[in-house]
Amino acid sequence: QSALTQPASVSGSPGQSITIGCSGTDRDVGGHDFVSWYQHHPGKAPKLLIFDVTQRPSGVSGRFSGSKSGSTASLTISGLQAEDEADYYCASYRSSANYVFGTGTRVTVL
């Protein structure tokens, strides 16, 4: 059950924008709009940031936005802040009622 592909790390300076990609196939990311993104500080509960590719839950900062093109989804963090330093995971529904996560991206604020 292969994971979705994300870059291992992305970094940026405070105030900058960064984008994290999430590459899948037409069995998952490319086959529907059920892509979500999670922020994870190690040892804590993961936090939902984006669902259904572009939707943001109430309470999540507008600095986080999602998009998709073909089989690649993306998460953009605008106005990068020190508190954004964490691990980020994409996830997608895959056929046969299974779910798959991305390999994870460590975001570093320089």
Partner 1 sequence: EVHLVESGGGLVQPGRSLTLSCAASGFTFDDYAMHWVRQAPGKGLEWVSGITWNSGSRDYAESVKGRFTISRDTAKNSLYLQMNNLRVEDTALYYCARLQLLADYFDHWGQGTLVTVSS
By CB under 8 A, the count of residues binding partner 1 is 28
Report which of 69, 92, 90 is spatially closest to residue 10, judged by C-alpha positions: 90
Q: Are strands 72-77 and 47-50 parallel, antiparallel or unpaired?
A: unpaired
Binding test (CB under 8 A) with partner 1, winner from 10, 29, 38, 73: 38
Report d(CA 23, CA 101) in Å as an integer: 11
Is position 36 an interface residue for partner 1 (rule: CB under 8 A)?
yes
Which residues lie near partner 1 (CB under 8 A)? 1, 3, 34, 36, 38, 40, 44-48, 51-52, 57, 87, 89, 91-93, 96-104
